[in-house]
Chains A and B, each alone.
Chain A
Amino acid sequence: DQQVKQNSPSLSVQEGRISILNCDYTNSMFDYFLWYKKYPAEGPTFLISISSIKDKNEDGRFTVFLNKSAKHLSLHIVPSQPGDSAVYFCAASTDSWGKFQFGAGTQVVVTP
């Protein structure tokens, strides 16, 4: 049972424009959310996080928004750069052990 869903398998965006990646979850007990970026043949690398007590967290070009009532989070990348081309995963956790469930990922392609 997939409790974390990324319904868009791919996204193409022009360099300099905004990339918006979406993630939905079904478990209302999730209280911590992460976004990861993954290049081919490498492990996922941590991008940005948000806890359930916040609705927005910003780090440079990356902003994560959390809508608890809709059980939805999104990642905004502004401006998009060619190096942002990668697979992006959202992940969520309910417990203090750091046990995360991951979405299926969204492949982002940034075109010149």
Chain B
Amino acid sequence: DAGVIQSPRHEVTEMGQEVTLRCKPISGHNSLFWYRQTMMRGLELLIYFNNNVPIDDSGMPEDRFSAKMPNASFSTLKIQPSEPRDSAVYFCASSFVGGGSPLHFGNGTRLTVT
């Protein structure tokens, strides 16, 4: 079991640029979650998918943020255009079914927008 795989581990970009974060969930899991961790807000849920379908995107901060899950083994979180306040660690997590099943997190992508 390779666990949840995120790429890149670190991303430094200039304000206004497009940023794409990638996630490969654990094989067999049918739910995928994108979280963001900041000092001010802690771990906050941005969006989650079940069977590749977005269920709740109420945590997405602005229209600049979008997420897709084209198949069961891949998801992207895109920020366009990026701003310095988007600087944070972005985590992807997956689980089976939901219903209280523990989330399995990737190691995160540390995003710095200058």
A78-100 residues with Cβ-Cβ distance < 8 A to B are 89, 91, 93, 95-100
Quick check: A100 and B31 within 8 Å, CB to CB?
no
A21 touches B (CB below 8 Å): no
A107 touches B (CB below 8 Å): no
| Option from B42, B91, B98, B106 in Cβ contact (under 8 Å) with A97 | B98
Quick check: B103 and A46 within 8 Å, CB to CB?
yes
B50: chain A residues within 8 A (beta carbon): 97
B91-107 CB mask vs A (1 if < 8 Å, else 0) is 10101011111111111
Interface of B is mostly: strand
A101 touches B (CB below 8 Å): yes
In Å, the complex CA distance between A87 and B107 comes to: 14
| Option from A41, A101, A103 in Cβ contact (under 8 Å) with B107 | A41
A91: chain B residues within 8 A (beta carbon): 103
Quick check: B100 and A98 within 8 Å, CB to CB?
yes
Quick check: A97 and B31 within 8 Å, CB to CB?
yes
A45-99 residues with Cβ-Cβ distance < 8 A to B are 45-46, 49, 51, 89, 91, 93, 95-99
Name which residue of chain A comes closest to B98, CB basis. A98
Name which residue of chain B comes closest to A52, CB basis. B100
Could you give 18 example pairs across A and B, Cβ below 8 Å? A34-B103, A36-B105, A43-B106, A43-B108, A44-B103, A46-B103, A97-B55, A97-B98, A98-B33, A98-B48, A98-B97, A98-B98, A98-B100, A99-B33, A99-B56, A102-B35, A102-B43, A102-B44
